Structure 1
Amino acid sequence: MTFTQNFTAVGNNLALTAIVALIPILYFFWALAIKRMKGHIAGLTTLILSIIIAVIAYKVPAEMAVMSATQGAVYGVLPIGWIIVASVFLYKLTVKSGQFEIIRHSVLSITEDRRLQALLVAFSFGAFLEGAAGFGAPVAISAALLVGLGFNPLYAAGICLIANTAPVAFGAIGIPVIAMEGPTGIAAKEISKMIGRQLPFLSVFIPFYLVFIMAGFKKTMEVLPAILVSGFAFAITQYLTSNFLGPELPDILSALVSLFALAIFLNFWKPKTIFRFSAEQELAAAVTISCRKTNEVHYTGGQIFKAWSPFILLTATISLWGIPTIKLALSGHYEGANAILKAINSIGHALTFMPEVPFVHNKVISKAGAVPAPAFYKIELLAAAGTAILIAAIITKFIIKMSWNSWVQTFGETLNEVKYPLLTIATVVGFAYVINVAGMSTTLGLALAKTGPILFPFFSPFLGWLGVFITGSDTSANVLFANLQKVTAESIGMNPILALAANSSGGVTGKMISPQSIAVACAAVGLAGKESELFRFTIKHSIFLVIIVGIIVWLQNSVLSFMIP
């Protein structure tokens, strides 16, 4: 039995159906922001509520709704949850072996100022990881690094989520942009150009905004030269690469230019005062003594390189895993003649499983006359980015000379730490799959598209924002709403390239409140069960930034139309 989605299922009325579709989303906001539920409880109850609404209001067969939730849960565990496990595990290895103390010292040798550490680690290094891997790894790794440096866990997680705004659209080697070409027929390079004429404005602003959140306006102005170096280095490179090279490299190159530009600049310029958090100021004497002791310790270049080697290996492996040809081999889909890649392909094929999802596979029809959509449990054990990080962790074991017994024990400790975040991720991704199968997300998109030719350019980024909040992925949000953006834009006289770019640019501002991202960040910094606190921290910033993107798009549709390629 097939199920045809009905986007006006409630009273044959789009507005009324949209209100019903909003219920599980509003409930999730209420559960975290007001009720302050633990993340896994909020996720589980939201999932149950979405299934009930899908069955009763949208007439989805019960078995189809439940099985679509299991499909999402499997995807939540692999690849997303697997990245969290591997990332936290790698970080714990460096802490247990004492190597992280050397890493901490090396960062402090560049700057002891918390504002500048946030720019180096959360903004630049996090953007590099986003460009190479995506899927939660940037926030997990950079947040863990900041906590190790002495940041408050909540601040570390929140700052990394907000910093991740700038690179998300071009994350994972440009996949979010490339994904829009298929359903729309518009070249990815043209969409890339338009995004590259929107996001640089945010990329310049985000470093300033990060420091402002941390320290207030006066303390922000003290490090304005460093902020400008960091932001403009990133933004200019992002514009040039997205417009002249395509969507694959903007994040990686922008992050590297920003990171090295700021590090070099800090060799010649220092802030007048060293900023630390208020809790640290209360222990000023102890901190001063600690810093003196730190400054008295001198590590060789070899020791510093060894300490950083786990993260160098992580960068190398996830970058390798992201190369399209190698990615095909790792997932068992390589068809070329290269002998090495053919051998990897054989292993990848053996470790890739694609069983059909019962009651969902070829059963869901998006509209009358459309072909039923396939549905698989996509389990790629070798191709998963988490596997790349695990390989880095295995090599790290030999570099730091840790026994297998300690290595395995640390892995077990990691699994125990992240069990509730994994449950949170599984339930919220399951929720996303349920509302997509039911057609609730499309109902909300159609309702926003009704805002008309004057308001739609402003609200078009909100579609991407909503899509990323629901799915946790700019790629998924782009696939979900790309065609709707294109059709709506053409009907109101808006350039479809601008609307597609708006979807992706708006989506990046939704990443920081996505339940998946919140769970990932909390797991990385040891705040399992505190997801509500992090959500309350990021929600206001998310809304503020998506409004900025909406204004940029509205202006580009009118007085700044010359910016459209």
Structure 2
Amino acid sequence: MYQQILAPLFGSLGWSAVAAALPLLVLFALLGLVRMTAWKASLIALAVALAIAMFVYPMPVDQALLSATLGAAFGFFPILWIVINAIWIYQMTVTTGHFDVLQRSFSRISGDRRIQAMIIAFCFGALLEALAGFGTPVAITTVMLLALGISPMTSAVVALVANTAPVAYGALASPLVTLASVTELPLADLGAMTGRQTPLLALFVPMVLVGIIDGVRGVRETLPATLTCGITFAVAQFAASNYVSVPLTDIIAALLAAGATVLLMRVWTPRGAEPPTSEPAGSRAEVLRAYAPYLIIIAVFVVAQLGPIADLLDAVTLKFNWPGLDIRDAGGEALSLTEFKFNWLSGAGSLLLIAGLLTIPVIGISARAALGRYAATYRQLAWAIVTVMTVLAIAYVMNTSGQTATLGTWMAATGGLFAFLSPILGWLGVAVTGSDTSSNSLFGALQVTAAEQAGIDPMLAAAANGSGGVLGKMISPQNLAIAAGAVGMAGREGDLFRRVLPFSLGFLLLMCALIALQATPVLSWMTVM
């Protein structure tokens, strides 16, 4: 058994935080400065995390190595299991030619690929985030953007940056459900508070996406569309989270934003854009089959959430403590992180596999060709698989040894400045784990405790953890690996990291300023429920 120590280095929380930060500093330095491939950088960072855990904290060798194996297992299931099956579905549509039909269908909405990219990356991506979460939106929208003729690097950057505002309510609000569980705050109130923070991001993200594709000129020429999309999503996200349903928030916002943008395109065309093509995308049956895989995905996920069916799927879920792993927090309580949940039937990846199997007869691909595409998907994502499993091993070593808790406790000791820093804590958690759910699990209770000590509304700080966390997703090594692998750029994760880092930091600064002002009379009216 290992019990965490928060200040193992000289009894100093500050020096211990410096040591705890080393694995992350090494990882991001190797990616961003040395330009090392992600799988090599992550393996080196894992060695550093293990060394810090064993020689600074000190964590028994067996407990440290077992933590790494648990993280690697979690990296494959459920995270990679989602991505692999999502990319497989896409690969099948490419093989049958239905993806070309889908692309032509998008061109009938608008001849402007900037608008097409915004609808795919932001609206459709938000819908996928609402239903599946984890890496699904990035995996699918990246390859869809590539099919529009956008370069691989730009496609990956756009998909990563777009996957921000919807993340707090992803996978039917799983991050908020987790946050409510660890903080013992009402889910409805947490969802409502988050809905007074993340919509601010939605106002700007569509404009930023167009800017990435076509610069300032593109932003200026498409402003009516980006404002329509962003404002509609923001208003819908606020209204749904506060007055309708927290789990359905992103589904409502994504559909309304896409619908509003499509309606605008019927009466307005961006300057310099080609008019919508009049060429048929294909016969009605072909178009329906092109959209069928994504309609099947939505249908499978919606049906899987229905009470009796959800219970039936969960009935075969296996939960067990990772063999040999026994970790206690600084207070002596057993860590829930040591439990492995193998929801092999109800997990998002398994539901995507079911959707893929249902797609096979619909799009008319042979079973042999479908199996061949499945094997090809594993080959395509080989290095991404190594990277994601290694990054999650790093996260679990840091979490179980106490390195993450040390960093969080050190930041929580900043007193009145904590309102400004609280989103950074969530950002850091997602940057490490790639999941807003995991970040809320790690830091949610800490945010509440620190807020109470600093005289800040605990509800505000707890929501800030998730709202800040959404901005760490685009720089998470596992998501960088997923995006790079999806467009055949494995090994260039460092280049991708440098491209998205300014957007992550810029949006994070905006969120920090918003939370800090919401903690003062200037914007405290936004937090009154």
Q: TM-score range by the shorter chain?
A: over 0.9
For residues 56-71 of structure 1, the aligned pairs below 5 Å read: 56-71=55-70
Aligned pairs for 1:100-119 (under 5 A) are 100-119=99-118
Retained in 1: the 8 A contact 2:337–2:400? no
Amino acid at match of 1:359: G
Q: Distance in 1 between matches of 2:59 and 2:307?
A: 37
Structure 1: unaligned runs, 5 residues or longer: 276-290, 333-348
Unaligned ranges ≥5, structure 2: none
Answering whether residue 196 of structure 2 is matched by residue 233 of structure 1, we say: no
Distance 1:274 1:529 in 2: 35
- Letter aligned with residue 494 of structure 2: S
Q: Using the TM superposition, give the Cα deviation of residue 139 of structure 1 relative to its aligned residue in structure 2, in angstroms.
A: 1.1
Letter in 1 for 2:445: N
- The correspondence for 2:389, drawn from 426, 435, 438, is 426
1:277-356 → structure 2 map (5 Å cutoff) = 296-297=279-280, 299-323=282-306, 326-332=309-315, 349=316, 352-356=317-321
Q: What's the secondary structure of 1:20's corresponding residue?
A: helix
Aligned to 2:223: 224
Query: Are positions 1:387 and 2:386 aligned together?
Result: no
SS, match of residue 396 in structure 2: helix
CA distance in 2, matches of 1:254, 1:8: 44
User: Is residue 370 from structure 1 mapped to residue 369 from structure 2 by the alignment?
Assistant: no
Please tell me whether residue 547 in structure 1 is matched to residue 509 in structure 2.
Answer: yes
Which one is further off, 420-429 or 313-322? 313-322
Match of 2:188 in 1: 189
- Cα offset, 1:413, TM superposition: 1.1
Cα deviation 1:385-440 (Å, max 9, x = unaligned)? 12211222222221222222211111111111111111111000111000000111
1:477 aligns with 2:471: no
Map Cα deviations across residues 121-177 of structure 1 (whole Å, 9 max, x no partner): 000000011011101111111111111221111111111111110100011111111
Q: Tell me the amino acid that sits aligned with residue 365 of structure 1.
A: R
What amino acid does structure 2 have at the position aligned with 1:476? S
Q: Which amino acid aligns with 1:530?
A: R
Contact 2:105–2:281 (8 Å) recurs in 1: no
Question: Could you list the per-position Cα deviations for residues 190-239 of structure 1 after superposition, in whole angstroms to 9, with x for gaps in the alignment?
Answer: 11111111111111111112212222223211111101110111011001
Q: Give 1:371 shift.
A: 4.1
Structure-2 separation of matches of 1:473 and 1:175: 10
Tell me which amino acid in the other structure corresponds to 2:118.
L
TM-score normalised by the chain length of structure 1:
0.90
User: What do residues 499-520 of structure 1 show as CA deviations (whole Å, max 9, x unaligned)?
Assistant: 0111111000001011121112
- Partners of 2:101 and 2:487 lie apart in 1 by 19
User: RMSD of aligned C-alpha atoms?
Assistant: 1.7
1:551 aligns to what SS in structure 2? helix
| 1:10 equivalent in structure 2 | 9
Q: Which residue of 2 aligns with 1:266?
A: 265
Tell me if structure 2 keeps the 8 A contact 1:84–1:524: no
Alignment-derived partner of residue 341 in structure 1: none
* Counterpart selection for 1:538 from 500, 503, 510: 500
Contact 2:196 2:526 in 1 (8 A): yes
SS of match in other structure, 2:5: coil
**What is the SS of the residue equivalent to 2:321?**
coil
The one-letter amino acid paired with 1:316 is: A
Alpha-carbon distance in structure 2 between the residues aligned to 1:96 and 1:372: 46
User: Residues 319 and 526 from structure 1, CA distance in 2 versus in 1: closer, same or farther, beyond 3 angstroms?
Assistant: farther
Task: Determine the structure 2 residue equivalent to 1:491.
Answer: 453
Alpha-carbon separation, structure 2, partners of 1:248 and 1:76: 25
CA distance in 1, matches of 2:322, 2:358: 36
Match of 1:164 in 2: 163
CA distance in 2, matches of 1:379, 1:386: 11
Q: What is aligned with 1:93? A: 92
Q: Distance between the aligned counterparts of 1:326 and 1:7, measured in 2?
A: 43
**Cα pair 1:84 1:523 within 8 Å, conserved:** no
Q: Partner of 1:339 in structure 2?
A: none
| Partner deviation per Cα, 1:233-270 (whole Å, 9 max, x = no partner) | 10110010111124211100000000111111101110
Paired position in structure 1 for 2:376: 413
Q: Judging changes above 3 Å, is the alpha-carbon distance between structure 1 residues 31 and 327 closer, same or farther for their aligned structure 2 residues?
A: farther
The offset of 1:323, in angstroms, is 4.6
Q: Secondary structure at the match of 1:78?
A: helix
The structural deviation recorded for 1:380 is: 2.4
1:301 Cα offset (Å): 2.3
Q: Is the 8 A contact 2:6 2:330 kept in 1?
A: no
TM-score between the two structures when normalised by the length of structure 2? 0.96
Residue among 504, 527, 537 paired with 2:466: 504
CA drift at 1:295: 5.1
Deviations 1:422-474 (A, max 9, x none): 11110001110000001111111111112221x21111100000011111111
Q: Contact between 1:355 and 1:377, CA under 8 Å: does it hold in 2?
A: yes
Q: 1:562 is matched with which residue?
A: 525
Q: 1:556 to 1:86 in 2, by over 3 A?
A: same
2:74 corresponds to: 75
Larger CA deviation: 524-533 vs 9-18: 524-533
Distance 1:327 1:547 in 2: 39
Q: Give yes or no for contact 1:183–1:483 (8 Å, CA) kept in 2.
A: yes
Partner residue, 2:426: 464
Worse-superposed segment, 313-322 or 262-271:
313-322
Matched, 1:442 2:395: no
Mapped to 2, the partners of 1:46 and 1:156 lie a distance apart of 27
Q: Which residue of 2 aligns with 1:242?
A: 241
CA distance in 2, matches of 1:217, 1:374: 45
Amino acid at match of 2:370: W
How far did 1:298 drift? Answer: 5.3
* CA apart distance, 1:325: 5.2
Asked whether the 8 Å contact 2:101–2:281 carries over to 1, the reply is no
Indicate the percent of aligned positions where both proteins have the same amino acid: 38
Deviation of 1:114 after TM superposition, in Å, equals 2.3
Q: Which residue of 1 aligns with 2:366?
A: 403
- Length, aligned pairs only: 527
